[in-house]
Each structure stands twice: as structure tokens, then as C-alpha cells.
Structure 1
Amino acid sequence: MRVMASMIRLTTFITMLMVISNMPYSHAELSTAFYAKSCPTALSTIKSAVGSAVSRERRMAASLLRLHFHDCFVQGCDASVLLDDTPSFTGEKTAFQNAQSIRGFEVIDDVKSRVEKICPGVVSCADILAVAARDASAAVSGPTWKVKLGRRDSTSASKTKAEQNLPLVTGSLEHLLSNFRNKGLNDRDLVALSGAHTIGQAACVTFRGRLYNNDTNIDAGFRSNRRRGCPTTGGDGNLAPLDLVTPNSFDNTYFKNLIQKKGLLHSDQVLFSGGSTDNLVAEYSKNRAAFNSDFIAAMVKMGDIELLTGSSGQIRKMCRVPN
């Protein structure tokens, strides 16, 4: 009986080892030192390229942050947003939430090219997006943080999933809260991440409805001013700063604008409209340090959404196409 019991325990132990060895890598495998040996200059190379891009065009900081966000919310942080259409799938770039709002692909192409020259086939496009977002924030006096690395790239993308999962600029507060909760993000994460709209610009087509559809939660002078550059017809691509006061600096003015009913997008202003997130907007408007701290925590948390790690996915040679 003792021999049989020992054999059973041994068999169980071996079975457990086999199960563990075949399990997909979890988020625990991510590490801030992931490329320390395989590509020690990867992070400095990315930082240099992003810094140059933002120096050429300040708006690019917001664009790189948005790329990372729009990537993570679809299939997870897997660089699927970067993929061009192929005969086998229609990618995410033309999803209606993306068509007028995401850009910066050429910057990521440049970063990837530079990294490939020093470490071919080592650094994923998904990790480049995560690091570029951090470096873009720092380049415009925003917060910085340590990025966990080790993500791998998807081999496909989905316009359908993008349109199902990305939040809408016309969305209600309930829509936004539900959208974020579905990704494991809470109400504080929603408001903190929305604070990235303290930099960047939006196209007229994304905020026209707020200006002309009898939205009462808007300052009259602000509405009149924005209408000049966004007529009822035409001018869809005309740009306006998301933060009219300090559009090129990462600060907490965005939240002060919301309190004054000067949020550009409907999805901005609903954060301060008599709902459950009003207190967070008020807190961040008074306490920039609290906003920065919560923004960092939310960015790190978002960077963990539905990852490909270990042997899953691939390390793309070019970010726009699967290998």
C-alpha cells in the first residue's frame, strides 16, 4: 500500500510538472529588465527616436500614447493596431473609432528599424508601443514609469473587434465605465487615462455633435469658439486642441476644463456631468501629483491587458506585417 501510495504521489507530481510546463507564460514573465542581456541599448534607442519625433511635432506625444491605448483595448497589447490589411483579415486602422484619431505609424516604423539594426528579431512591436508611450509622456513634461517588457506580437488584427471594443467619443458615462470594466480597469483608471487628453488634438468630425446637438453641458463661449473651426458641414479633418489652455504640456488643466464645461469631446465632458466620476475629476483638477500617480498606475495596468508572452505570437520583423 505504501509503495502504491508513493507511486500515485509521484505520478501526480509528474503530471503537475507536465501541466505547468505546457501552460502559456503569464504576466509574471514580464520584467523591466527583459532586454537587459538580449538588447541592452533597446530602451535608449527607443527613447532617442521618440524624443526626436516629438521635437519635430509636439502633437506626436499624444498620438503615441493613443496608439498604445487603442492597441491594448482590442486584442490586448499585441501591436495588432499596427498591422495593415491583408488578404486574410481587415485590420484595425479603418475602424470608425480609429480612422480619424490614430496616427504615428511612421514613427513606430522608424523606431523598429533602429532597434532591428542593433538587435534583429529581439524586441517586439508591442513592447515598442508600450515604451514609446512612456517616453512620449516624459517628452512633454508628463509622468514617467518603469515599463514591464516581454510582450509578443499578434499575427492578425480585426476591424470588427476594434469597433466592438474601443470606446466611443459619443459614449455615455455608463458606456465608458462598462467598456473599461470589461478590460479589467476601474472608474479611477478611466478618469486618469482620459487625462491623456491634456495633450493632442481632435478632428472636427469627432466633436461636431457636441457643438450642434443641443448639448447643454457646454460653456457657451467655448461652443461658439469651437464652431468657427468646425462648421455643420465640411471641414471634418479640421483640428482643435483637446486642451485649449496648455495643449502641448502634460498637466492637469484638462480636468479644470471639464469643471468649466469646456471638454472638447462628449466622452470627455461626461466625466464631469453630475455622475459618479465627478469627484475624481475634481480631485485631479486640484492635485496634479495625484493625477500623475494614478495615471502611471493605470498605464501599467492597461499594459497588462490580454498579453501574448512566452512562445505565443511572434516578434515581427516589420510592425505593419506579420512575419
Structure 2
Amino acid sequence: MYSVELWRDGLTFATRDATVANLPAPTSNASVLITSLATKNLDATDLVALSGGHTIGIGHCASFIERLYPTQDPTMDETFAEDLKETCPTENSNSTTVLDTRTPNKFDNKYYVDLVNRQGLFTSDQDLYTDGRTRPIVESFANNQKLFFENFVYSMVKMGQLSLLTGKHGEIRANCSVRNSDGPYISSVVDDDEADSEL
């Protein structure tokens, strides 16, 4: 059970550069990913759980093309590689493909089943199964969807607690993707609730 916190949204949106700087590249291996997330107090289990978000989505050829050309990544399943070469026939291809070949439109644990079968799209995906520190976690999530769901929720909450704005900093948005107008209603209601909770 998780408590409800009165976190606030920022008054500005992150720039593209700031966003990219905080997202590990799809070419990153497990060591780079573990080190990167450790700076945010996220561990190897958080890394594997959050990577499960790749059970839905697409990847551009440029994000995994180095696994196909000029030399095919030996950790990649042969049939999977041949399918990808049809989607991305040259090193300059700009097509897309799904991240999870089994159930691309369903949030489930099949992403991990893909990894066990050497069908992870990005290096940052497949290396989670190759690396001995994260392989047992991948296997446990591949075998137990409920365990994955529980860990995904826990890790998302942890990630959501990074660089929190509280008190008088930021705002509570009426629409998450848009800054509030100058109307004071939402902030005043939350401020009143915070004041009451301190009594």
C-alpha cells in the first residue's frame, strides 16, 4: 500500500537536452545502466522492472542497427535477426518495429520472455539477460508476471520520488501536460489540505 503524497509539478517543462541527458542510450550495456541508475538511488531490480515498460512501444532502426551491421550481434536469435533485417535492410534504414514481438500492444511480462529467447531489440534490453547481475531478475519476471507487476509499481513510485517539488514549490496541475492558468483554485485547495495535515 502506498501513501498519497502532495507532490507538485514544475513550472517549466524539461528541455530536450535535459531529457536526453537523463535517458540512457539504447546502445548502453547493463554496466552503464546500473551505474547510471545508481546515481538516482535505483538498483538492479529497479532497472530490470522499469525496462519492462518496453513491453509496449516501437524502436527505430537507428537505435539497434549496430546489432545487425556490419556484423550481427552473436547474442541475437538468428530468426529474430533475419526478421529485423527485412525491416531494416541497410545501415541507413529509418523504419520502426515493435519492442515486444510476442504481445506488442499488451502490458505484460512477455518482454522478459523475449529477452530469455535472445529477442531483445536494443542492446540495453538484451544485455539485461546477458549480464549475470540482472539475468536472475529477468528470469524471475519472465516466469512470474505478478512479480513483475509488483516490482514495476514499486520502482515507478521510487522513480516518481526523484527531485520532488513540495510545499510552495511548483504547482498541482489540472491537466498534467499543461501548466495551469493564473487561477488560484487548485493551489489554494492543496495548500489548505497541507495546512490541515500539519495541525
Same fold by TM (over 0.5)? yes
How high is the sequence identity, in percent, across the aligned residues?
38
Query: Which residue pairs with 2:83 in the alignment?
Result: 225
1:234-293 residue CA offsets vs partner (Å, 9 max, x unmatched): 431x22111111111111111111111100111100001142101001111111111111
RMSD over aligned Cα atoms: 2.3
1:74-127 residue CA offsets vs partner (Å, 9 max, x unmatched): xxxxxxxxxxxxxxxxxxxxxxxxxxxxxxxxxxxxxxxxxxxxxxxxxxxxxx
Tell me which of the two structures has the higher relative contact order, counting C-alpha pairs closer than 8 angstroms and 6 or more residues apart. Answer: 2
- Partner-residue secondary structure (3-state), 2:12: coil
Query: Which residue pairs with 1:155 in the alignment?
Result: 12
Superposed counterparts of 1:145-224, under 5 Å: 148-155=5-12, 157-212=14-69, 213-224=71-82
Unaligned 5+ runs, structure 2: 182-199
Query: Which residue pairs with 1:306 in the alignment?
Result: 163
From 272, 283, 294, the equivalent of 2:151 is 294
- Partner-residue secondary structure (3-state), 2:164: coil
From 123, 132, 142, the equivalent of 1:285 is 142
2:12 alignment partner AA = T
Q: How many residues align?
A: 178
Runs of 4+ in 1 over 6 A off after TM superposition: none
Query: Which residue pairs with 1:250 in the alignment?
Result: 107
1:220 alignment partner AA = E
**Cα gap change, 1:201/1:159 in structure 2, threshold over 3 Å: closer, same or farther?**
closer
2:79 alignment partner AA = G
Q: Does 1:262 align with 2:119?
A: yes
**Cα gap change, 1:309/1:217 in structure 2, threshold over 3 Å: closer, same or farther?**
same
- Partner-residue secondary structure (3-state), 1:195: helix
- Partner-residue secondary structure (3-state), 2:127: helix
Distance 1:317 1:264 in 2: 37
Query: Which residue pairs with 2:192 in the alignment?
Result: none
1:4-26 residue CA offsets vs partner (Å, 9 max, x unmatched): xxxxxxxxxxxxxxxxxxxxxxx
1:229 shift after superposition: 0.8
1:184-234 residue CA offsets vs partner (Å, 9 max, x unmatched): 111100001111111221122212112224311100110001110112244
**Cα gap change, 1:322/1:269 in structure 2, threshold over 3 Å: closer, same or farther?**
same
Distance 2:180 2:35 in 1: 32
1:150 alignment partner AA = W
Distance 2:53 2:6 in 1: 22
Distance 1:305 1:239 in 2: 31
> Which structure shows the higher helix fraction?
1
Q: Does 1:273 align with 2:130?
A: yes
1:208 alignment partner AA = I
Query: Which residue pairs with 1:126 in the alignment?
Result: none
**Cα gap change, 1:297/1:317 in structure 2, threshold over 3 Å: closer, same or farther?**
closer
- Partner-residue secondary structure (3-state), 1:272: helix
1:7-55 residue CA offsets vs partner (Å, 9 max, x unmatched): xxxxxxxxxxxxxxxxxxxxxxx963xxxxxxxxxxxxxxxxxxxxxxx
2:10 alignment partner AA = D
1:121-174 residue CA offsets vs partner (Å, 9 max, x unmatched): xxxxxxxxxxxxxxxxxxxxxxxxxxx453222325344433332111000111
